[in-house]
């Protein structure tokens, strides 16, 4: 029987991994500049953590959680996102009253219908700020996003959509008004949107259904901005003023996000180069979540970058290291020759010394050396070991010479 990877799960091989590393390195450089430290949380959490945070009416909890009962009968879920686990860990460590600027990177799991840009195992880099009330922190969070886009050289491909959900009371009040309005059109809504009308009316603002879109375009639809306090509208304006010259940044009062814990600023970064799954960064403020999970009340804001999606947007620039292919033709005492390779690696971290690790013929090893993209080949047979002079072959020029180890090290330092 042949095994296949599960639907929506990817194996990431060498060249692709190189892309991932380049991406991670650019993002890391920006986060370092803001003094944000890394946190690593487990992939498995208690199922109820997500029910309580992401929300039992959300799609993520309703139909996308990977969950199981462990041998002890505990209900466990694979994390669908990183915020809940991070907040759980901060409360557990009793450090929620201290301010925190943290990031995490890792796989997340959602049982969604796989398509381009949508996987069942995907990867996020998340940033969470705890202990910073609305104001400066909201500006810094958008500033990080702006710098990430610039670092990746994709600012021109991206639009930052922002909205404000107000306080919890405002959110509830708007929800009620929206529901009351939509009830008159209930029969025209799709089955899913009719269910949402009871469980999570705000999500209808996000509906992809054409009849919902028509209803949402009606001029007497309650508008979120009419429910917001001036200070909240001012925050949106100040973000446009601060970041509008470098980025396409727009207020979208229909932006509500699919996770329940948000109040205050919310945002999503989209690109029309990504197709249907166009959102590659999402986040917002969640000032009530820590106390709802039993911690001391503390403000919080954060976002997550969908790395699988960004990967398709940016063009990595790789720093090139010269490659020496090590060809060992010695007979019995082969490890002595490999010591030479180790000495060269020790002499410079700026080159790659790759051994072919076979006793195939010189001809076939040289063919392989070219296939591996080698710049030079270092060839060592028994005679070379005795004379302490080795063959240094320039694979691009097809020239070669006999050289001592010291001479090789001298050459390598000049590369």
Give the integer Cα–Cα distance in Å for 350 and 319: 10
Residue 85 contacts ligand HAM per CB under 6 A: no
Given a contact cutoff of 8 angstroms between Cβ atoms, the answer to whether 232 and 251 are in contact is no
Residue 283 contacts ligand HAM per CB under 6 A: yes
Rank residues 108 and 178 by Cβ distance to ligand HAM and give the closer one: 108
Q: How far is the CB of 189 from ligand HAM (least distance, A)?
A: 24
Subset of residues 125 to 184 that bind ligand HAM, contact rule: CB under 6 A = 126, 128
Q: For ligand HAM, which stretch binds (CB under 6 A), given 95-103, 279-287, 334-342, 348-356?
A: 279-287
Q: How far is the CB of 233 from ligand HAM (least distance, A)?
A: 22
Q: How far is the CB of 324 from ligand HAM (least distance, A)?
A: 39
Rg (CA), the chain: 28
Rank residues 94 and 116 by Cβ distance to ligand HAM and give the closer one: 116
Rank residues 265 and 344 by Cβ distance to ligand HAM and give the closer one: 265
Q: Which residue is nearest to ligand HAM (CB)?
A: 306
Q: How many CB atoms are located within 10 Å of the residue 407 CB? A: 14
Q: How far is the CB of 313 from ligand HAM (least distance, A)?
A: 11
Q: How far is the CB of 98 from ligand HAM (least distance, A)?
A: 18
Given a contact cutoff of 8 angstroms between Cβ atoms, the answer to whether 73 and 277 are in contact is no
Residue 90 contacts ligand HAM per CB under 6 A: no
Subset of residues 94 to 113 that bind ligand HAM, contact rule: CB under 6 A = 110, 112
Rank residues 261 and 376 by Cβ distance to ligand HAM and give the closer one: 261
Q: For ligand HAM, which stretch binds (CB under 6 A), given 69-77, 121-129, 171-179, 320-328?
A: 121-129
Rank residues 112 and 354 by Cβ distance to ligand HAM and give the closer one: 112
Which of 10, 143, 225, 279 touches ligand HAM by CB under 6 A?
A: 279
Residue 281 contacts ligand HAM per CB under 6 A: yes
Rank residues 58 and 328 by Cβ distance to ligand HAM and give the closer one: 58
Q: What is the 3-state secondary structure (H, E, C) of the chain?
A: CCCCCCCCCCCCCHHHHHHHHHHHHHHHHHHHHCCCEECCCCCEEEHHHHHHHCCCCCHHHHHCCCEEECCCCCEEEECCCCHHHHHHHHHHCCCCCCCEEEEEEEEEECCCCCECCECCEEEEEEEEEECCCCCHHHHHHHHHHHHHHHHCCCHHHCEEEEEECCCHHHHHHHHHHHHHHHHCCHHHCCHHHHHHHHHCHHHHHHCCCHHHHHHHCCCCCCCHHHHCCHHHHHHHHHHHHHHCCCCEEEECCCCCCCCCCCCCEEEEEECCCCCCCCEEEEEEECCCHHHHCCCCCCCEEEEEEEHHHHCCCCCCCCCCCEEEEEEECCCCCHHHHHHHHHHHHHHCCCEEEEECCCCCCHHHHHHHHHHCCCCEEEEECHHHHHHCCEEEEECCCCEEEEECHHHHHHHHHHC
Residue 287 contacts ligand HAM per CB under 6 A: no
Residue 82 contacts ligand HAM per CB under 6 A: yes
- Distance between start and end Cα atoms, the chain: 50
Residue 384 token pair: 């070379």
Residue 119 contacts ligand HAM per CB under 6 A: yes
Give the integer Cα–Cα distance in Å for 185 and 164: 26
Rank residues 307 and 408 by Cβ distance to ligand HAM and give the closer one: 307
Residue 59 contacts ligand HAM per CB under 6 A: no
How many residues contact ligand HAM, by CB under 6 A?
25
Which of 303, 326, 376, 392 touches ligand HAM by CB under 6 A?
A: 303
If we measure between CA atoms, which residue out of 227, 223, 300 comes closest to residue 261? 300
x/- site string to ligand HAM, residues 230 to 269, per CB under 6 A? ----------------------------xx----------
Q: For ligand HAM, which stretch binds (CB under 6 A), given 168-176, 185-193, 299-307, 321-329?
A: 299-307
Residue 309 contacts ligand HAM per CB under 6 A: yes
If we measure between CA atoms, which residue out of 259, 271, 11, 10 comes closest to residue 120? 10
List residues near ligand HAM by CB under 6 A.
81-83, 110, 112, 118-119, 122, 124, 126, 128, 258-259, 279-284, 302-304, 306, 308-309
């Amino acid at each position: 029987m042949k095994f296949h990877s599960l639907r929506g799960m990817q194996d990431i091989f060498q060249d692709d991994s190189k892309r991932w590393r380049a991406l991670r390195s650019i993002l890391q450089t920006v986060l370092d500049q803001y003094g944000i430290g890394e946190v690593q949380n487990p992939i498995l959490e208690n199922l109820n953590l997500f029910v309580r945070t992401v929300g039992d009416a959300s799609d993520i909890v309703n139909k996308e959680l990977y969950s199981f009962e462990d041998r002890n009968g505990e209900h466990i879920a694979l994390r669908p996102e990183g915020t809940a686990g991070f907040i759980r860990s901060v409360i557990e460590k009793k450090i929620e009253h201290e301010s925190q600027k943290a990031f995490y990177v890792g796989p997340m799991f959602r049982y969604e219908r796989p398509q381009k840009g949508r996987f069942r195992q995907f990867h996020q880099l998340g940033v969470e700020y705890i202990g910073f009330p609305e104001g400066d922190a909201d500006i810094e969070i958008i500033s990080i996003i702006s710098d990430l886009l610039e670092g990746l050289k994709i600012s021109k491909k991206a639009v930052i959509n922002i909205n404000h959900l107000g306080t919890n009371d405002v959110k509830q009040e708007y929800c009620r008004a929206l529901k009351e309005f939509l009830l008159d059109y209930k029969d025209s809504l799709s089955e899913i949107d009719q269910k949402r009308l009871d469980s999570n009316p705000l999500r209808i603002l996000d509906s992809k259904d054409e009849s919902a879109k028509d209803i949402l375009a009606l001029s007497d639809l309650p508008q979120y901005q009419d429910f917001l306090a001036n200070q909240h509208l001012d925050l949106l304006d100040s973000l446009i003023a601060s970041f509008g010259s470098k980025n396409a940044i727009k207020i979208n009062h229909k932006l509500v996000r699919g996770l329940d814990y948000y109040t205050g600023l919310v945002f999503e970064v989209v690109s029309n180069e990504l197709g249907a799954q166009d959102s590659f960064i999402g986040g917002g403020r969640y000032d009530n979540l820590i106390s709802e999970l039993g911690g001391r009340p503390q403000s919080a804001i954060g976002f997550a970058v969908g790395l699988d999606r960004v990967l398709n947007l940016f063009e990595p620039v790789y720093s090139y290291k010269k490659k020496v292919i090590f060809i060992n033709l010695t007979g019995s005492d082969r490890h002595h020759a490999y010591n030479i390779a180790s000495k060269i690696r020790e002499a410079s971290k700026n080159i790659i010394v790759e051994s072919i690790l076979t006793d195939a013929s010189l001809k076939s090893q040289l063919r392989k050396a070219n296939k591996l993209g080698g710049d030079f080949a270092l060839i060592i047979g028994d005679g070379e070991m005795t004379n302490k002079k080795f063959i240094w072959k320039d694979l691009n020029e097809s020239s070669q010479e006999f050289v001592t180890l010291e001479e090789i090290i001298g050459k390598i330092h000049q590369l």
